[in-house]
Chain A
Amino acid sequence: MKGKTLFDKIWDSHVVHSIPEGPDVLYIDRHYIHEVTSPQAFDGLGRRKVKVFRPRQTTATADHNVPTINQHLEVKDLLSRTQLDKLKENCDNHDIELYDLNHEFNGIVHVIGPELGYTQPGMTIVCGDSHTSTHGAFGAIAFGIGTSEVEMVLATQTILQYKPLRMRINVEGTIQKGVTSKDIILYIIQTLGVDGSTGYFVEYAGSVIRSMSMEGRMTVCNMSIEMGARGGLIAPDGITEKYIKNRQFSKGKIDYIDYKTDDNATFDKEVSIDISTLEPIVTYGTNPAMSIPISKGIPKLENLNENDRESLSKSLRYMGFRSGQRIEGEKVSYIFIGSCTNGRIEDLRDAAKILKGRKVADNVTVWIVPGSNQVALQAKQEGLDKIFSDAGAAMRQPGCSACLAMNDDKVPAGEICIATSNRNFEGRQGVGAKTILSSPLTAAASAVTGIITDPRVFL
């Protein structure tokens, strides 16, 4: 019998009904919601006069649009406050657990789901946020959805979905000093392209992935969407099991043995990537696939085809860089360490490794934003907050913050920000702001020097 992929095993076991020549009705085990993409969905329920079908399977948090200082005070911005109030009202009305601002479990949705043990292997998970793919690190099918689909899941605990194609990315080689899971996923995205996985659900495999911590795996799966993938997952193993053990809402031991791709299963596309010679990666352009090893130059326009040349020219005009130039050594004025990509405890530990005993440069503003209150608590227990404040960069309070700059953490027009988040789109961090994506190590190293810096000089 033909083997099955891990993705197929999970998908097939969640099909409630298959519409002939149409999509599957897929059962959703866990639904995460937040303040920005849910209000119109609840409005829809109101118009239909239906309640949330399975409120116990929905978890809410306030994260996208929250301040990252003085969270105990009333939120100043009226529109943001209204959105937060609306989330609370909707959760109250529908009996949904909400980890609101100041709650000990509050934080970025893709940080709290795993750390509280809601996210488990074998699950189907959705959220009105494209970085829902993060939860795939546990061997779950997790993907981002629009607000109409949020309404659909709230109303029915199911979603109409076409089964995507399957891709496997095998990552092999030896990880070099200064290289993190962030550099690895940026390299994968650069290799496959910003739309290289559109239409696919990716399984990450290989010895490099196996060796990664859960935090590292979450960073990898998190950015699957940046190459167009519907989601990305990793087969659970002993590392997964250790992570989920003793989590607040974890159901205990899982039978992760079932959750792996059969040896004779086939993928629609398979890619192998060797990272043995990889060095820290930084982006230079306006999509996450536009990245280079930190010691190398930006691609030369003359080496590209007409289409890519036009696209690169447009990006370079926005970023203020020249074709072929190196960006290591370029002056930066903002540093953002945080987000659902790199706002976990290991990321803060990486930043602290570099910042310990050093000061941030005079010309930079540094935002260190923990992914959740639990992450912040852990950081304090480990003394990381002290390291950060001694360096001149006090740790803030959790939230999505400068990743999408819906709150006050905005980078001013024309300024360059090294960010550990996931998108360097035009204006993503503020109108006219220029984003360079990197690992927490590279971001922290650049915070110390005030210029784009190879973290290996500090390691």
Chain B
Amino acid sequence: MSALAFKNITSTAVPLGIDNVDTDQIIPARYLKAVTRGDFGKNLFADWRYNSDGSINKDFILNNPIYEGQILLTGKNFGCGSSREHAAWALSDYGFKVILSSHFADIFKNNALNNGILPIQISEEIIANLLKLVSSKPETKFIVDLDKQIFSTVDKSITENFQINAFKKECMLKGYDSIDYLINLRDKVERYEGRKVG
């Protein structure tokens, strides 16, 4: 589990804007054969990003040079489907640190948080506005302030608060390792096991 502390970021955004992006699209199953963490970023959105002959699909947003940045703007229900953490690894390896959606699939959300990616949930209406804004002005920069729970444009013309559970926030800000935390609870676990048997 990642122990990277999340720092505030200032970045442009990529307006993907597709609803129900499943983890098979984020990274197709044939790229799940690696036994190490490696680099999954090159196969992020592989079937959308590359043509069947391996060439670049120029129509796909990630291949459009005018859009770049550490923030991905997506449609609703991002990350549905398979539990593969490879999806979060691919997004992180590619360089995304923040993903905005009107809502995320549960398992993906956990996987993202466990890899230092901040999933920000805001209303469908605001996502729609952001998509319009970034599409017309790709140079628009945003600030993500996790501590204050604010997502805003640099000029503050758009300022949105977002919710995150206090515990998750603390873990992300400090880069806590949850597994170490649980290993330290071993006495409690053993007492629980004793109660269960007894």
Contacts and interface: CB of A to CB of B under 8 A. Distances in A.
A147 B179 contact: no
Given A79-B34, A228-B105, A427 B179 contact: no
A431 B57 CA distance: 14
Interface in B77-119: 77, 80-86, 88, 103, 105-107, 110-111, 114-115
Contact of A80 (B1, B33, B84, B196): B33
B91 to A, nearest CB: 13
Nearest to B78: A195
Contacts of B111: 146-148
Interface stretch (A43-51, A251-259, A267-275, A379-387): A43-51
Contacts of B18: 314
A432 interface: yes
Given A16-B192, A155-B179, A128 B83 contact: yes
Contacts of B2: 148
Given A43-B37, A44-B1, A432-B52, A423 B106 contact: no
A427 B183 contact: no
Contact of B182 (A21, A37, A158, A194): A158
B32 interface: yes
Interface stretch (A22-30, A95-103, A204-212): A22-30
A190 to B, nearest CB: 14
Given A22-B166, A50-B183, A130-B82, A287 B22 contact: yes
A39 B35 contact: yes
B81 A82 contact: no
B148 interface: no
Contacts of A434: none
Nearest to A403: B29
Contacts of A423: 22, 24, 81-82
A94 to B, nearest CB: 15
B167 A164 contact: no
A160 B178 contact: yes
B105 A198 contact: yes
Given A194-B77, A425-B24, A21 B105 contact: no
Contact of A156 (B24, B33, B183): B183
B24 A130 contact: no
A199 B106 contact: yes
Interface string A272-311: 0000000000000001000000000000000000010011
Contacts of A27: 189, 192-193, 196
B72 to A, nearest CB: 18
Interface in A402-443: 404-406, 413, 423, 425-428, 431-432
B153 interface: no
Interface string A71-86: 0000001011011001
A454 interface: no
Contacts of B152: none
A311 B84 contact: no
Contacts of B84: 36-37, 146
B165 interface: yes
A431 B47 contact: yes
Given A27-B189, A228-B106, A406-B32, A156 B167 contact: no
Interface in A1-55: 16-17, 19, 21-23, 25, 27, 36-37, 39-40, 43-44, 48, 50, 53
Contacts of A427: 24-25, 28, 47
B188 interface: yes
Contacts of A148: 1-2, 85, 111, 114-115
A374 B76 CA distance: 41
Interface residues of A, number: 68
Contacts of A156: 179, 182-183, 185-186, 189
Contacts, number: 177
A80 B29 CA distance: 12
Contacts of B135: none
Contacts of B76: 195
A130 B110 CA distance: 13
A20 B153 CA distance: 34
A426 B111 CA distance: 22
B110 A149 contact: yes
B114 to A, nearest CB: 4
Contacts of A39: 34-36
Contacts of A219: none
A36 B34 CA distance: 8
A20 to B, nearest CB: 9
A128 B114 CA distance: 14
Given A146-B114, A198-B77, A425-B24, A129 B167 contact: no
A64 B83 CA distance: 13
B10 interface: no
Contact of B83 (A22, A23, A65, A130): A130
Contacts of A413: 52
Interface of A: 16-17, 19, 21-23, 25, 27, 36-37, 39-40, 43-44, 48, 50, 53, 64-65, 77, 79-80, 82-83, 86, 128-130, 132, 143-149, 151-152, 155-158, 160, 162, 164, 194-195, 198-199, 225, 228, 230, 287, 307, 310-311, 314, 404-406, 413, 423, 425-428, 431-432
Interface of B: 1-2, 18-20, 22, 24-25, 28-30, 32-37, 47, 52, 76-77, 80-86, 88, 103, 105-107, 110-111, 114-115, 165-167, 178-180, 182-183, 185-186, 188-189, 192-193, 196
